[in-house]
């Protein structure tokens, strides 16, 4: 079974990657167009590359199009974090991941986002399920932060010396 894993950042990806790759062929997808500014994108991408080197994994890094992300999100600029703008952001990212998954012959998709204690995991999995279905894929419905998943991700990020950001990613969260 082949799975494409939407990676929001390297620290969040370590635990899901280890677990999913036990019985699936996993490829990462680092969207990145929501991340502002450009040097922050580079830091997060480098951290994902470092993790991929460590796990001997492959990841797709699409050319970032921050202007396109902004065009979609700017009408929701005043939304609080966790509100409608974030739902749209998840949708944009999962659609891109699903498109790449179909193109790579994957049958399943999943995201690393549910490891965060700050994220609405019900919303994330519901959007993920809907998008996977639209693309003829299976959404792997996981809440990675359960069973100390978040603490494990922090420990792993520290031990691998992965860059850890202190805001979600977009200009509004910054
Ligand atoms: S706060 Fe995070 S999830 Fe919400 S819109 Fe910004 S980057 Fe996307």
Q: Write out pLDDT tens, residues 56-77.
A: 999 999 999 999 999 999 999 9
Token pair recorded at residue 11: 């620290």
Q: What's the gap in Å between 170 CA and the centre of ligand 1?
A: 6
Question: Is 32 near ligand 1, meaning CB less than 6 Å away?
Answer: no
pLDDT at residue 94, rounded to an integer: 98
pLDDT at residue 45, rounded to an integer: 98
How far is 110 from 37, CA to CA, in rounded Å?
Answer: 26
Sequence-ordered alpha helix ranges (H) in 8-59: 10-20, 38-55
Q: Are 126 and 112 in contact (CB under 8 A)?
A: no
Nearest C-alpha to atom 6 of ligand 1 is from which residue?
170
pLDDT at residue 30, rounded to an integer: 98
Nearest C-alpha to atom 5 of ligand 1 is from which residue?
86
Residue 82 alpha carbon, nearest atom of ligand 1:
4
Cα dihedral angle (13, 15, 18, 20), rounded to 10 degrees?
-80
Ligand 1 pocket, mutate which of 9, 44, 169, 174 (most atoms under 8 A from CB): 169
Each residue of 107-151: pLDDT tens digit? 999 999 999 999 999 999 999 999 999 999 999 999 999 999 999
Q: What's the gap in Å between 1 CA and the centre of ligand 1?
A: 30
How far is 50 from 138, CA to CA, in rounded Å?
Answer: 28
Q: How far is CA 102 from the centre of its chain?
A: 17
pLDDT at residue 90, rounded to an integer: 98
Q: Are 110 and 101 in contact (CB under 8 A)?
A: no
Q: How far is CA 63 from the centre of its chain?
A: 16
Token pair recorded at residue 124: 């994330």
Please state the φ and ψ torsions of residue 26, each to the nearest 5 degrees.
Answer: -105, 135
Mean of pLDDT values over 5-16: 98
pLDDT at residue 21, rounded to an integer: 98
Each residue of 13-45: pLDDT tens digit? 999 999 999 999 999 999 999 999 999 999 999
pLDDT at residue 143, rounded to an integer: 98
Each residue of 78-114: pLDDT tens digit? 999 999 999 999 999 999 999 999 999 999 999 999 9
């Amino acid at each position: 079974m082949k799975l494409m894993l939407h990676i929001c950042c390297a620290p969040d990806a370590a635990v899901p990657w280890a677990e999913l790759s036990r019985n699936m062929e996993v490829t990462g997808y680092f969207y990145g167009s929501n991340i502002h500014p450009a040097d922050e994108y580079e830091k997060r991408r480098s951290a994902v590359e470092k993790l991929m080197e460590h796990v001997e994994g492959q990841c797709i890094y699409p050319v970032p199009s921050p202007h396109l992300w902004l065009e979609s999100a700017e009408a929701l600029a005043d939304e609080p974090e966790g509100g409608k703008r974030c739902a749209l952001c998840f949708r944009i990212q999962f659609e891109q991941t699903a498109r790449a998954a179909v193109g790579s012959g994957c049958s399943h998709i999943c995201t690393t986002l549910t490891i965060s204690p700050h994220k609405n995991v019900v919303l994330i999995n519901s959007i993920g399920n809907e998008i996977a279905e639209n693309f003829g894929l299976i959404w792997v419905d996981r809440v990675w932060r359960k069973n100390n998943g978040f603490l494990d991700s922090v420990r792993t990020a520290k031990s691998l010396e992965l860059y850890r950001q202190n805001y979600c990613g977009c200009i509004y969260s910054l």
